[in-house]
Structure 1
Amino acid sequence: MLLLAALLAQGRLADTLDNEALGTWCTIFVAVVVQSTPFLLGGVLLSAAISVLLSERVLQRIVPRNPVLAVPVAGLAGIGLPGCECAAVPVAGSLIRRGLAPAVALTFLLAAPAVNPAVLVSTAVAFPGQPEMVLARFGASLLTAVAVGWWCLSRGDRLPLRRRPDPPHLHGPGRFVATVRHDFLHASGFLVLGAMIAAAVNTFVPRSVVDTVAGQAVVGVLTLAALAFVVALCSESDAFVAASLTAFSDTAKLVFLVVGPAMDVKLAAMEAGQFGSAFAVRFVPVVIGTAVLSASLVGWWLL
C-alpha cells in the first residue's frame, strides 16, 4: 500500500526524491545494510547452531571455571571466528543463553570482530610496510575486550543485562529454524535503525569540520573516535578508510580502527535490542572510553 501511494504521488515527490543529499543518504544507507546483512545472517546461523548443539556441559569443559581467567580466554577465542561485528551480537546472546557468564560472552563479542585473521590481513594490506599498525590494532583491540570483560565481571548482577530465552517447545531442526527466524528479524530491525543514523551523519556533517581538527593531536583522536562510532563501517573494510585519512596521525587512525569494531551506532542499537536499553546505556560509554584509552596508549608505545 505504501508503494502504491508512492507511485500515485510520484509527480509531487519527484523534486524531493531528486535531491542530491537524499540520494547520498540512500546510497550510504543501502551500502551499510547490504555490507552488514550477510555477516549478520552468518552470526545468526552460528548462534542458532550454538543454541541447538552446544550444551552447558560442553561449555563447562572448554571455558575455565575461574571467570577472571575465562575473560582473556574468550578474548583470544575471537581469533578463531572471522566475521563482522554484526555477527558477534547474536552469537554472544546465544552463548549467554547456553549458560556462559555474561562477562565472558561480552568479551568474545568485542574481540571477535577485531582480532580475527581476516581483519588483521585487511589491515596489513591497507597499511603496506607498517606491520606495527597490525600489531598495534591486535594488541589494543584485545586489551579493550579483556578490560571491558573484567569490568562487566566486577559489576556482577548490577549489570542490567536482559536475557532472552530460547524459543520454547522446539527441538532439532525446528528449533534451529525458529531461532534463526527470531534472531534475524529481531536484530535486522536494529541494524536498519543504526544504518539510518550512520547514513545521516555521513551525509549531513560537513567534511570541512573534520579537516579543521585533523592537525590537533587530542582533538584528532577524539574526532576519529566519534567518526568510527557514527560511520558504522565493517571491521574487515575499515582499515582502507583509515589509511585514506592521511591528515590524521597514526595514533588517531589506530583509535578509529579500535573503536569502530568495538562500538558504533549500529552495534549500540543492536545491543540495546539484544540485551536491553538499560544495559546499553551503561555498556556503550564504557566500551568507547576503554577503546580510546587502549588505542591511545598502544599507539603512543608502538607508533
Structure 2
Amino acid sequence: MADVTTTTEAQPSTPTRRRRGPTSLEVLCVVLLLAILFQSQLTQFFNVPELRTGSTIFVAVCVQALPFLLLGVLLSGLIAAYVPMGALRKALPGKPALAVPVAGIAGMALPGCECASVPLSRRLMQQGIAPAAALTFLLAAPAVNPIVLVATAVAFPGEPLMVLARFLGSFLTAVVMGWLWLRLGKAEWIAARALRHHEPKAGESKFTVFTETARHDLVEAGGFLVLGGVTSAALHVIVPASWMTSLGGQVVLGVIVMAVLAVVLALCSEADAFVVASLSMLPLLPRLVFLVVGPAVDVKLIAMQAGAFGRPFAARFAPLTFVVAILCAVGAGLLVFGGVR
C-alpha cells in the first residue's frame, strides 16, 4: 500500500490547460458569416421604418465621429511616445486656477469633436497635467475650435451674434467646470488606469509606443462610441418630431427640452448648428442652449468618459456639466442677445 502511494506521488502532475475564450475578431467573423447566411431573413426583419431610421442615425453618428476619434487617438499616441513626461505641465501656468483658462484657450487649437477630446485629455493627465486643466481642455476643444465657430456662422447667416454667444457660453462652461473641479473634485473619482503613464519597455521604440497607445485608445473609445450611437439612435426614434412645434412660445420649457435633446441626440459639434438652425419655430435662446450643452455632455460622451475615467467620475461630472452648461448658455444668450429672443 505504501509502494502504491509513493508511486502515485512520484508521478508528475498533468498541467491544467485553461480554456481560451473567443477573441473579438472571431466573434466578428461569426456575426458576418451569420449575416451572410440569413441575409434574406434579416432584410425582411429590418424592413420597418423605425428600424431603418434608427440604423441610419446610428451609422450617421458613428461616421461623423470616427474621423475625429481617429484624430484624437493619433494625437494621444504622439503625446505618449514623443512628448517627454512633464513637458506639457511646464507649458501651463504654475497656479492651477490660471492653468484652467489657459487650457480652455488651448482647446481652440484642436479642430475636432468630443470624441477626439476624451482620449486626448486622458493622455494629458498621464503627462502630468492637472485634472482640472485637462477637463477644461476636454470641454473647450469640441466647442470653441475654429471649425465649429465657422460652421455656426454658416448655419446662422442672419444671426452673427449666435457665434459670439456660442463661444462665450461654451468657453465659460469649460472654465467654470475646471474651477469647480479644483474646488470640489477628488482624485479617487478618476479611475487609476486613467492616470497610469505608460513606461516604455526595455528596447521598445517610440514608434511602437505610439502604435500600441493609439490602438489601445481606439479599441477602448470606439466601443463606447458604438454604445453611445446605439443609445442616440434609439432616442431619435422614440422622441416625436411634433413636440418641437409646441415649444415656439415657451422659452423656459424650450430651454429645458432643447438641453435634454442635446444630450440624447448626441450630434457632432461640427454638424449640430445646421440641425438646430432648421428649428426656426424656436427662439434663439433655446437653440443656443442646444449648441452649448451638446458638445459638453451627451450620451456618447458620457459613455466614453465612463470608459476613459471610470463610472464614478462620469456619474458626478456629467450631471454637473449639464447644469453648468445650461446656466452659462442662458447667461451668454441674455448678455449677447440683450434679452430673450
Check conservation: 1:97, 1:163, Cα contact below 8 A: no
Superposition deviation, residue 202 in structure 1: 0.9
The Cα offsets for residues 16-52 of structure 1, whole Å up to 9 and x where unpaired, read as 2211111111111011101100100000000111111
The Cα offsets for residues 47-77 of structure 1, whole Å up to 9 and x where unpaired, read as 1111112223422331011000100110111
Question: Quick one: distance in 2 between partners of 1:156 and 1:127?
Answer: 37
Q: 1:40-55, aligned counterparts within 5 Å? A: 40-55=69-84
Question: Quick one: distance in 1 between partners of 2:78 and 2:117?
Answer: 14
Superposition deviation, residue 214 in structure 1: 3.7
Q: 2:256 aligns with which of 212, 216, 222?
A: 222
Aligned to 2:317: 283
Q: 1:196 aligns with which of 199, 207, 230?
A: 230
Q: 1:264 aligned to 2:293?
A: no
Aligned to 1:162: 191
Superposition deviation, residue 209 in structure 1: 2.5
Question: Quick one: distance in 2 between partners of 1:84 and 1:157?
Answer: 26
Aligned residues, how many? 303
Unaligned runs of 5+ in 1: none
Q: Rate the CA distance shift 1:55–1:163 in 2: closer, same or farther, 3 A.
A: farther
Superposition deviation, residue 167 in structure 1: 4.1
Aligned to 2:328: 294
Higher mean Cα deviation, 210-219 or 269-278? 210-219
Q: 1:23 aligned to 2:52?
A: yes
Question: Quick one: distance in 2 between partners of 1:72 and 1:61?
Answer: 15
Q: 1:153 aligned to 2:177?
A: no
Question: Quick one: distance in 2 between partners of 1:166 and 1:65?
Answer: 21
Question: Quick one: distance in 2 between partners of 1:155 and 1:277?
Answer: 17
Question: Quick one: distance in 2 between partners of 1:62 and 1:158?
Answer: 22
Question: Quick one: distance in 1 between partners of 2:239 and 2:333?
Answer: 27
Question: Quick one: distance in 2 between partners of 1:31 and 1:88?
Answer: 19
Aligned to 2:156: 127
Q: Rate the CA distance shift 1:13–1:102 in 2: closer, same or farther, 3 A.
A: same
Check conservation: 2:114, 2:295, Cα contact below 8 A: yes
Aligned to 2:147: 118
Question: Quick one: distance in 1 between partners of 2:32 and 2:88?
Answer: 48
Check conservation: 2:54, 2:233, Cα contact below 8 A: yes
Q: 1:76 aligned to 2:105?
A: yes
Q: 1:180-259, aligned counterparts within 5 Å? A: 180-259=214-293
Q: Rate the CA distance shift 1:156–1:206 in 2: closer, same or farther, 3 A.
A: closer
> If each structure's helix is expressed as a fraction of its own residues, which one has the higher value?
1
| Aligned amino acid, residue 178 of structure 1 | E
Higher mean Cα deviation, 164-173 or 270-279? 164-173
Question: Quick one: distance in 1 between partners of 2:187 and 2:122?
Answer: 18
Question: Quick one: distance in 1 between partners of 2:59 and 2:120?
Answer: 24
Higher mean Cα deviation, 179-188 or 236-245? 236-245
Q: 1:97 aligned to 2:126?
A: yes
Q: 1:138 aligned to 2:167?
A: yes
Q: Rate the CA distance shift 1:171–1:154 in 2: closer, same or farther, 3 A.
A: farther
CA RMSD of aligned residues (A): 1.5
Q: TM-score, normalised by structure 1?
A: 0.96
Unaligned runs of 5+ in 2: 1-29
Superposition deviation, residue 212 in structure 1: 2.3
Aligned to 2:15: none
The alignment-based identity, stated in percent, is 52
Counterpart secondary structure, 2:281: coil
Check conservation: 1:96, 1:163, Cα contact below 8 A: no
Check conservation: 1:44, 1:180, Cα contact below 8 A: yes
